[in-house]
Structure 1
């Protein structure tokens, strides 16, 4: 059985539901309440399908390309760590992704589903935490349930986006994003070390 709390925290960090709120507010500023609800639902479903695809096919793709899973785990850990550093020291998720909006069509898919919700970090975490050699089918299903739980939280926060944004403001979302980045950096370091250990045990 997986550690539900730890898995939930990992996906909460990489998906960053709170950081999605300012992005959602900016994307949907010109839409009425009914349209905003529809956009939130479509974005959540699209992100769920994307992450589920990588849970199912991500490892298969790696095997087809003859990439050993420990190598992917090491690379994934490094990428997650760099992603975490951008959350801590660089522009926060809201600041970075809101900039995408004026240059692109305001849709539920972009930039909401990708890259705000189903972020590169979330995709990597989905593959690493459902590795078939390390986790049973039941444990993988439990991990997927935690992904869906975080996505449900994300959906609810998007529905409450107006109130939350007024409550914590852009500064509050930035602080949360940086704290999540610190947690993610710790997880990424652990994944890299586990990958190095597994690689030399092959």
Structure 2
């Protein structure tokens, strides 16, 4: 039961970080004037990109940390700070440079594969989401192979939400409006801020066991 609760918590945190609702305006702007079939194809590409990037992070994150000789405690503190900065931007209903820089936003016009770059990466599966998955992979079931497999469940759930939200992006935008989307973003930012502080606290306890 504890494992399923942990998986649910990971799913909520990852969904808040990816924040597909906040990406709706960018998706609509990038696909403006496109036929519904083309938008649907792009939404599927975005979802597939998010799934592949986060799955790769889940299975190779520990090795990457070992390669650079970075402890999980240090990574949790650094990743927590990164997620906290993202949460602050969400609370202000602003697009964080962590997710997408102005230069990357311009590339939406210049590139045909907008579903991969920049919509998939870095808008949704950006540094914050990747950091969160690496931390979760290390903590869940002590990072064993079965734990990595089970970690695919929250990644898959978030991917399906991304696909559904972008597929219905125009309808959602009309129903909620910009104010509604901002409210959803702020609520996710509040949840994310609390989880970021918890991640930082756990990282500090890893670095300084006497704090526990």
Same fold? TM cut 0.5: yes
The Cα offsets for residues 21-46 of structure 1, whole Å up to 9 and x where unpaired, read as: 22211111121111111111111111
CA contact (8 A) 1:23 1:98 kept: no
Q: Which residue of 1 aligns with 2:60?
A: 57
> Are 1:186 and 2:186 an aligned pair?
no
User: Which secondary structure does the structure 2 equivalent of 1:29 belong to?
Assistant: coil
Task: Give the unaligned 5+ runs of structure 2.
Answer: none
Q: 2:24 aligns with which of 3, 17, 21?
A: 21
Q: 2:111 aligns with which of 98, 105, 109?
A: 105
User: Which secondary structure does the structure 2 equivalent of 1:19 belong to?
Assistant: coil
Give the distance between the partners of 2:109 and 2:44, measured in 1 at CA: 23
Give the distance between the partners of 1:169 and 1:51, measured in 2 at CA: 29
TM-score after normalising by structure 2: 0.85
Report deviation, 1:98.
10
User: Which secondary structure does the structure 1 equivalent of 2:23 belong to?
Assistant: helix
Report deviation, 1:116.
2.0
- The count of residues paired between Structure 1 and Structure 2 equals 200
> Are 1:150 and 2:153 an aligned pair?
no
CA contact (8 A) 2:89 2:95 kept: yes
Task: Give the unaligned 5+ runs of structure 1.
Answer: none
After TM superposition, the structure 1 = structure 2 runs for residues 172-183 of structure 1, keeping only pairs within 5 Å, are: 172-183=180-191
Report deviation, 1:115.
1.9
TM-score after normalising by structure 1: 0.89
Q: Which runs of 4+ in 1 moved over 6 A?
A: none
> Are 1:91 and 2:97 an aligned pair?
no
The Cα offsets for residues 50-98 of structure 1, whole Å up to 9 and x where unpaired, read as: 11111111221110111111111111111111111111136146xx869
